[in-house]
Amino acid sequence: MREILDLHVHSRFSRATSKDMNIEGMAERAKKKGITILGTGDITHPEWMKEVKKKLVDLKNGLFEFGGVKFILSGEINIVFNLDGKLRKIHVLLTVPSFDLLDVLNAELLHFGDLLSDGRPTIFISGEKLLKLVSSISDKIFVIPAHIWTPWFGLFGSKSGFDRIADCFGDETYKIFALETGLSSDPYLNYLVRDIDRFTVISNSDAHSLENLGREANVMENVSSYEEIFTAIKNKDRKKFLFTIEFFPEEGKYFGDGHRKCGVHFVPECAEKVFCPVCGKPLTYGVFHRVMDLAGWKEEERSDGKIPFIHVIPLKEILSQVFKKGKGTKVIEREYLNVLNELNTEIDALVFKSKRVLFDKINADVAKAIVAMRSGNVVKQAGYDGEYGKLTINMEGEQQVGLFN
Ligand SMILES: [Zn+2]
Ligand SMILES: [Zn+2]
């Protein structure tokens, strides 16, 4: 059986998060999107965990269930520490197989930070110490560096990150096996960096609202427990871990270099300057710049067996372009539901339904746009310094054969 996993989301207890991020809303929207296994988010937050414990049914295999959707206990923390005279702030995702282990973990983390302050709390601990602490509790609690390229809080981020993974986790680095791409990068870009070669690259939504659930995700098959999911990730098992669903990285908020407040950006080229020509302050270097700085090894040196990936554009953005109405309008909501009525879920429409089924069941222009998107016929204006990029599907362009046509 096919599973679509989104392991990194936030509940309404995280800062700047929609109040609709409750279990009922998340389960309902996950079903529309096509997600079958969803992270709970915010596992370190006592109030949220009270609610999660009460509502989810424990399937006793590391997974939980509510309203026909399976859940995994996962949450993000912000680890803050000093290293080599620099203050480091790195976001990592934690996954835990049971409430019993979670209680032990949270009791320990409480010594290093205020868990009630935010669904994504700041924990004053180094990467190395965190891994030591976690593995002293269980070897089934996993730490996955989150959105590793974002300028702030990303492991490789230009503002407070590192040049090498081992610089962050020291002698404990061998315990890390997966890295999260974030919206502004994809596996192709990641594997340009030698240091990432041995890791499995996974993709999650980091959603702060129901709308964004599953905007990036992982597609697996025949994984029926927590253990099987993470074994498949660890082993890059291509029989079980089929592919990841990615944003076009240019659409992400941190792809190019620039200064949002000053309206300055250099995409697609990297900036040659360090300082903003308008305000004189340092520019925010984007993901592409960082990848280019850290890349520089030959394609043929790379090891085989990487998990494949595809790029998608959220369905409402596609509809918005076709019908020339804003994403949040009633027209687009109606057209969105029309597509789901015919094709089941958003991910089915974007990824799995054949070209023939698309043209049989839905509006021909929408079908045409989805097919063009699948073949990468997209004009891109890259995002920078917190500003999302803009994508336009090229409906008139020559259509190549996509992955699932
Ligand atoms: Zn984060
Ligand atoms: Zn500026």
142 C-alpha to ligand 1 centroid (Å): 16
pLDDT at 240 over 70: yes
Q: In the chain, what is the straight-line distance between the N-terminal and C-terminal CA atoms, in Å?
A: 21
What tens digit of pLDDT does each residue of 325-354 get? 999 999 999 999 999 999 999 999 999 999
Measured CA to CA, the distance from residue 294 to residue 285 in angstroms comes to: 13
State the DSSP string of 173-230: GGG--EEE--TT--HHHHTTSGGGTTSEEE----BSSGGGTTSSEEEEES--SHHHHH
396 is written with which tokens? 């008139």
Which one of the ligands is nearest to 9 CA? Answer: 1
Cα 359 to Cα 83, 115, 355, 356: the distances in Å are: 56, 50, 6, 5
Rg (alpha carbons) of the chain, rounded to whole number: 21
Q: Which ligand is nearest to the CA of 148?
A: 1
76 Cα–ligand 1 center, Å: 7
Task: Give residue 385 CA to ligand 2 midpoint distance, Å.
Answer: 10
State the pLDDT at residue 404.
41
Query: Is the previous residue joined to 268 through a cis bond, with omega within 30 degrees of 0?
Result: yes
| Residue ranges of E strands in 22-68 | 37-39, 57-58, 64-66
Average pLDDT of the chain?
94
Nearest ligand to the CA atom of 283? 2
For position 70, what pLDDT does the model report?
Answer: 98
Please report which confidence band the pLDDT of residue 403 belongs to, taking 50, 70 and 90 as the band edges: very low
Q: Tokens at residue 173, please?
A: 């680095």
DSSP state of 17: -
How far is the centre of ligand 1, averaged over its atoms, from the C-alpha of 146 (Å)?
A: 6
pLDDT at 90 over 80: yes
Residue located via tokens 């020509």: 277
Q: What is the mean pLDDT of residues 12-30?
A: 94
Helix (H, G, I), strand (E, B) or coil at 148: coil
Contact 203, 245 (CB under 8 A): yes
Q: How far is the CA of 260 from the centre of ligand 2 (A)?
A: 7
Indicate the DSSP class of residue 262.
T
Shortest-distance ligand to the CA of residue 204: 1
Tell me if 252 sits within 8 A of 184, measured CB to CB. Answer: yes
pLDDT in tens, 75-85: 999 999 999 88
Give residue 281 CA to ligand 2 midpoint distance, Å.
6
pTM value is 0.94
DSSP string, 69-133: EEEEEEEEEEEEEEETTEEEEEEEEEEES-HHHHHHHHHHHTTTS-TTS-SS-EE---HHHHHHH
**Ligand 2: distance of its center to the CA of 280 in Å?**
6
**Is 391 in contact with 380 (CB distance < 8 Å)?**
yes
* Cα 386 to averaged position of ligand 2 atoms, centre (Å): 13
Q: How far is the CA of 164 from the centre of ligand 1 (A)?
A: 19
Helical spans, DSSP H, in 250-325: 287-294, 315-323
For residue 64, CA distances in Å to 37, 38, 329 come to 9, 10, 35
Most confident among 194-198, 282-286, 344-348 (mean pLDDT): 344-348
Q: In which residue are the tokens 């702060």 written?
A: 208
**Which of the ligands is closest to the CA of residue 146?**
1
CA of 276, nearest ligand number: 2
Q: 399 falls in which pLDDT band (50, 70, 90)?
A: low
pLDDT score of 274: 85
- The band of 398, judged by pLDDT with boundaries at 50, 70 and 90, is low
Q: Burial of 280 by CB count in 10 Å (0-12 exposed, 13-18 middle, 19+ buried)? A: exposed
Q: Residue 96 Cα, ligand 1 centroid: separation in angstroms?
A: 18
pLDDT of 211-231, one tens digit each?
999 999 999 999 999 999 999
User: What's the gap in Å between 201 CA and the centre of ligand 1?
Assistant: 16
Ligand 2 midpoint to CA 253 (Å): 17
- The token pair at 311 is 């790029």
Residue 152: phi, psi to the nearest 5? -100, 135
The alpha carbon of 282 and the centre of ligand 2 are apart by a number of angstroms equal to: 7
How is residue 284 annotated by DSSP?
A: B
Q: Which ligand is nearest to the CA of 180?
A: 1
Q: What is the pLDDT of residues 93-116, one digit of tens each?
A: 999 999 999 999 999 999 999 999
| Span from the CA of 379 to the centroid of ligand 1 (angstroms) | 28
130 Cα to the center of ligand 2, angstroms: 36
The structure tokens listed for 50 are 């009270």
Residue 174 C-alpha to ligand 2 middle, in angstroms?
40
Distance CA 240, CA 229 (A): 8
Assess whether pLDDT exceeds 60 at residue 16: yes
Number of other CB atoms surrounding residue 61 within 10 Å: 14
- What is the percent of the chain where pLDDT is above 70? 97
Q: How far is CA 302 from CA 93, 149, 166, 194, 386, in A?
A: 26, 20, 19, 8, 32
CA of 216 to the centre of ligand 1 (A): 14
Ligand showing the shortest atom-to-Cα distance for residue 279: 2
Helix (H, G, I), strand (E, B) or coil at 245: strand
How far does residue 401's CA lie from ligand 1's centre (Å)? 35
CA of 58 to the centre of ligand 2 (A): 51
In order of their start, the domains of the chain are 2-250 (3.20.20.140), 314-393 (no CATH)
